[in-house]
Structure 1
Amino acid sequence: MQTSSHLHERLNNRRFTVVANTQGLSGSGTVFHYQVDGDSISGTYQGGRIRMGQQVGRVTGSNTIELLYQCLTTDGELLAGWSRGTVGVDLGGRTTLSFVWGWLSGATGGGESHYIELPL
C-alpha cells in the first residue's frame, strides 16, 4: 500500500507532543518526530521520562498507521511495545494522532494516547 499524499503531508518531518497518555511514560515534555517514505514510517522521540526512543512502522489505511517502538527511560529501563493509530486534523488545522498501544517487553499493560502537532 502506498501512502496517500495527505498522510505523507500530515506526518513527514512533523513533530508532535502528548496531550493525553494516562497509562504511558511519555508526557507533555516528550517530542515525537516522524519521517514517511512511501508506506514506511520511522521516528524518534525523547523528553520527559524518555531519554531516547525509536519507532518503525507502516501505513495501514488512508488515515491509519501501526508502529513498533523501543525506548530507554531516564531511570535506565529498556522498554518496547506496539501501537495502532489514527491520523486526524483538529479544528485549528493541526494534525492529531490517537493510539491504542501495549507493551511487548520491559513492562506490562497498555492504554490509549493522544498527540498534537507542534508548530513549525
Structure 2
Amino acid sequence: MATIDFNNKTFSLIDNSENGKVNADTIFEYKQQGHVVTADYYGGTVTYGKIIAILKDDILDMRYQCITSDNQLKTGKAIATISTLENGKIKLALNWEWLDDSNAKGTSVYLEH
C-alpha cells in the first residue's frame, strides 16, 4: 500500500455498532506528523474527543477519549484497517473496545470527505 497521508483530512461515520457513542453528525479532523496521527472530533453525540495513533503500513493503532453530549467521559482503544477507494478517498474500518468496567467491543467504519 502507498504511504497514507492523514494530514488535514476530515472523516465521518458510515457504520457503527449499537454500543458506539459516535453518530453520523460527528466530524473527525485528522493531522499527521510522520507516523504519529491525531484527530479532534466533535458534533452529534460527542461534545469533544481526541485520538492519538501510530501509523504502521495499513493499520492505525489508536487510543481515544471523548466527552459525550450527555456528559460521560469515555476512553477506548482501536485498531483501524486503512483502505483506499477507487476515488482516492480513505476508508477506516475499526475494531474498538471501551476501556471501562464493561470492556464492551464493537466495530465502526469511517469515510474521508
Where 1:66 maps in the other structure, the secondary structure is strand
1:39-58 to structure 2, matched below 5 A, reads: 39-58=35-54
Q: Distance in 1 between matches of 2:74 and 2:60?
A: 21
- TM-score, normalising length from structure 2? 0.91
Unaligned runs of 5+ in 1: none
Distance in 1, Cα, partners of 2:60 & 2:74: 21
Give the structure 2 partner of residue 33 of structure 1: 29
CA distance in 2, matches of 1:76, 1:7: 34
The CA distance in 2 between the partners of 1:39 and 1:76, in whole Å, is: 32
Q: Note the residue ranges of structure 2 that are not aligned, 5 or more in a row.
A: none
TM-score (norm 1): 0.86
Deviation at 1:107, TM superposition (A): 5.2
CA deviation vs aligned residue, 1:35-70 (integer Å, no higher than 9, x gap): 1111111111011110000011111x3111111000
What does 1:57-96 correspond to in 2, within 5 Å? 57-59=53-55, 61-96=56-91
Deviation at 1:14, TM superposition (A): 0.2
By percentage of residues, which structure has more helix? 1
Say which SS state the counterpart of residue 4 (structure 2) adopts.
helix
Aligned residues: 112
Report the alpha carbon displacement of residue 99 of structure 1 after superposing the two structures with TM: 0.6
The match for 1:6 is 3
1:18 and 1:91 map into 2 onto residues whose CA distance is 19
Any conservation in 2 of the 1:79–1:106 contact (CA below 8 Å)? no
